[in-house]
Amino acid sequence: MKVTTPIKVRYQETDQMGVVYHANYLIWFEIGRTAFIEKLGFQYHEMEKDGIVSPVINANIQFQQPVRYGEEAFVQTWLESYNGIRTTYGYKILNHKKEVAVSGETQHVIVKKDNFKPLSLKKKLPNWHQAYMNALGEES
C-alpha cells in the first residue's frame, strides 16, 4: 500500500534560496504518515488520548531537487518495515513533473507520554499491529 498526498507549498516554507527550506520536508513526511495511518483506519490523535505518543527515533533524507513555491508537490508514503516494536515509513516527494525531489525514511516507536518509557506496539495496540502486519504482507 502506497498513499499519495498532494501538498501545496506555503510561502512560509520557502527560504531566501528561493526554494522549500530543507527541514520542512520532515513536516511533509509527517503529513504523508498521517494520511497513511488514516488509510489503515486509525487516527494518530486517538492514540494520544490513551497517553501514548509515537516519537521519531531516526530519520534520513536525500534531497535531490529543490521544490518551489507555486509548483505542485506530492508525498508518497509506505510501510518500509515493522517488527512489533519499531515502525519504519518510507517516503518520496514528487515535484510537478513527477520527478523524485526528496526521498527518505523515518523510524518510530511508541512510548508513555508521561515518562517516555518504551511500549510494545504489538501488545499495547493490537489492532494497529494487525494492520501493520497486513500492510507489510501486501508489500511482499
Decide the pairing of beta strands 52-53 and 110-112: antiparallel
Q: How far is the CB of 131 from its own copies (least distance, A)?
A: 19
For residues 68 and 129, which CB has a smaller minimum distance to its own copies in the complex? Answer: 68
| Half-sphere exposure (Cβ direction) of 26: Cα atoms closer than 13 Å | 12
Nearest to 36 by CA among 88, 73, 111, 85: 88
Distance separating alpha carbons of residues 44 and 31, to the nearest angstrom = 11
Please tell me which residue in 10, 15, 21, 48 is annotated as part of the active site: 15
Interacting residue ranges for its own copies, rule: CB under 8 A: 8, 10-12, 14-19, 21-24, 26-27, 30-31, 34, 43-46, 48, 53, 55-66, 69-70, 113, 116
Q: How far is the CB of 82 from its own copies (least distance, A)?
A: 18
Q: How far is the CB of 69 from its own copies (least distance, A)?
A: 6
Q: Is 15 a catalytic residue?
A: yes
H or E segment to which residue 89 belongs:
strand 87-94
- The catalytic residues are 15
